[in-house]
């Protein structure tokens, strides 16, 4: 709907004597808006037939339409903000022309610029700044305020409409481009299973594979390939926990990370070592087996009776679980004492009882 603004004209009274020229400040308006201006006949000419002539500043007026005897005009202001003049003069039915009455109008233009399209990685935060100090901001999700923040989930068009205190309105939009992140899941290359916390025993090594979803790979070991091989961990090493981490980056610069914990296989405080077995030939619990013993290349075990006589000895290289015999003969029921070396940084000592 057009605004209608009245403008007083001035005319000579029957071509004798001039009316004073009236300078008026018209209400401000907006660029790219239609406004109707209506002439108000000189009071001295009421009851007569007059017509009106309008004068515009061509730099500020994009288009205009004059109606009737020029008693009103619709003006489409250009997109150039500024102060512009509008002149109007009245011509009476007697052919007398009044003074041109000049009026000024301030044409306001508001400009917002969301800048170039924004490219971010999936699940990154983003922010758009509308700038300026306008009365109202409306973003495409009905959010308000100068800033628009969020977490990038998918590509979207961000549109803003800004409105100032005289209801001038403008809009701008920018594309939020969301790039995917690569998958970064470390798996055991041999089995294809995900590696979470893994124990390496003896001469066992493992190849950690970060997949092929990335373009660039960076391990905390300094390697830049998509897979690395972790050698066997010395059981006597002081490092019992080793962390391997990888950063995977794709062509968009989006990255993901993963890490795994590798443990040195060791038995300490007799954890997991059986303390009783029943070598009676029934096929159940007939031998004394030390868990993971054969994974340790330098591991040895010795078992003694209560008189400190050696009754059993073995090494991981030729491991054979104890069957309760010494030199081919059954040892008596009772409690025996063992010493295990090479499975930990210290000797493991304990006892095992034979029940027949």
Nearest residue to 343 (alpha-carbon basis) of 310, 311, 300: 300
The set of residues, in sequence order, having a beta carbon less than 8 Å from that of 132 and lying 6+ positions away, is 110, 111, 112, 146, 162
pLDDT digits (tens, 9 = 90+) for 312-331: 999 988 899 999 999 999 99
The set of residues, in sequence order, having a beta carbon less than 8 Å from that of 224 and lying 6+ positions away, is 216, 217, 218
12: pLDDT confidence band, cut at 50, 70 and 90?
very low
Q: Are residues 16 and 94 in the same domain?
A: yes
354: pLDDT confidence band, cut at 50, 70 and 90?
very high
Domain boundary among 200, 232, 264: 264
Domain boundary among 264, 294, 316: 264
Q: Has residue 269 been placed in a domain?
A: no
CA distances from 90 to 3, 67, 178, 348 (A): 22, 15, 63, 116
Q: Are residues 323 and 246 in the same domain?
A: no
Alpha-carbon span 138 to 292, nearest angstrom: 67
pLDDT digits (tens, 9 = 90+) for 62-78: 999 999 989 899 999 99
> Residue 72 sits in which domain range?
3-108
Q: Are residues 19 and 83 in the same domain?
A: yes
Alpha-carbon span 290 to 224, nearest angstrom: 40
Q: Has residue 201 been placed in a domain?
A: yes
Q: Are residues 19 and 98 in the same domain?
A: yes
The set of residues, in sequence order, having a beta carbon less than 8 Å from that of 141 and lying 6+ positions away, is none
pLDDT at position 91: 87
Whether 127 contacts 149, CB under 8 Å: yes
Q: Has residue 271 been placed in a domain?
A: no
Q: What is the mean pLDDT of the chain?
A: 85
Q: Are residues 173 and 194 in the same domain?
A: no
Q: What is the largest CA-CA distance in the chain?
A: 150
Q: What is the domain-level CATH number for residue 125?
A: 2.60.40.10
Whether 210 contacts 248, CB under 8 Å: yes
Q: Are residues 223 and 169 in the same domain?
A: no
Q: What is the domain-level CATH number for residue 333?
A: 2.60.40
**pLDDT for residue 138 is more than 80:** yes
9: pLDDT confidence band, cut at 50, 70 and 90?
low
Number of domains in the chain: 4
Q: Are residues 259 and 280 in the same domain?
A: no
Q: Are residues 254 and 290 in the same domain?
A: no
């Amino acid at each position: 709907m057009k605004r209608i603004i009245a403008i007083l004209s001035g005319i000579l009274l029957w071509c004798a004597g001039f009316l004073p020229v009236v300078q008026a400040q018209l209400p401000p308006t907006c660029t790219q808006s239609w406004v109707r201006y209506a002439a108000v006949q000189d009071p001295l000419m009421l009851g007569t037939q007059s017509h009106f002539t309008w004068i515009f500043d061509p730099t500020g007026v994009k288009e205009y339409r004059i109606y009737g005897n020029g008693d009103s005009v619709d003006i489409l202001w250009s997109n150039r903000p500024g102060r512009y003049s509008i002149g109007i003069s009245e011509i009476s039915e007697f052919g007398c022309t009044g003074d041109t009455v000049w009026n000024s109008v301030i044409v306001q233009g508001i400009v917002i610029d969301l800048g170039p399209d924004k490219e971010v990685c999936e699940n990154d935060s983003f922010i758009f700044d509308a700038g300026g100090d306008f009365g109202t901001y409306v973003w495409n999700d009905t959010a308000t305020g100068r800033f628009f923040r969020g977490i990038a989930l998918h590509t979207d068009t961000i549109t803003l409409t800004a409105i100032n205190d005289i209801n001038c309105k403008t809009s701008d939009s920018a594309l939020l481009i969301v790039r995917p992140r690569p998958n970064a899941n470390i798996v055991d290359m041999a089995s294809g299973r995900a590696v979470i916390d893994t124990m390496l025993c003896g001469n066992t090594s493992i190849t950690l594979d970060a997949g092929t979803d990335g373009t660039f790979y960076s391990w905390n070991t300094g390697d830049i390939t998509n897979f690395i091989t972790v050698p066997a961990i010395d059981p006597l090493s002081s490092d019992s926990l080793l962390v391997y981490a990888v950063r995977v980056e794709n062509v968009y610069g989006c990255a993901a990370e993963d890490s795994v914990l590798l443990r040195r296989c060791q038995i300490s405080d007799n954890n997991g070592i059986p303390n009783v077995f029943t070598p009676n030939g029934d096929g159940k619990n007939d031998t004394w087996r030390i868990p993971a013993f054969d994974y340790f290349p330098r591991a040895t075990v010795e078992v003694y009776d209560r008189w400190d006589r050696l009754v059993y000895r073995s090494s991981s290289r030729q491991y054979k679980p104890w069957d309760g015999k010494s030199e081919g003969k059954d040892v008596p029921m009772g409690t025996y004492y063992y010493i295990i070396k090479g499975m930990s940084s210290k000797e493991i000592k304990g006892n095992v009882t034979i029940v027949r």
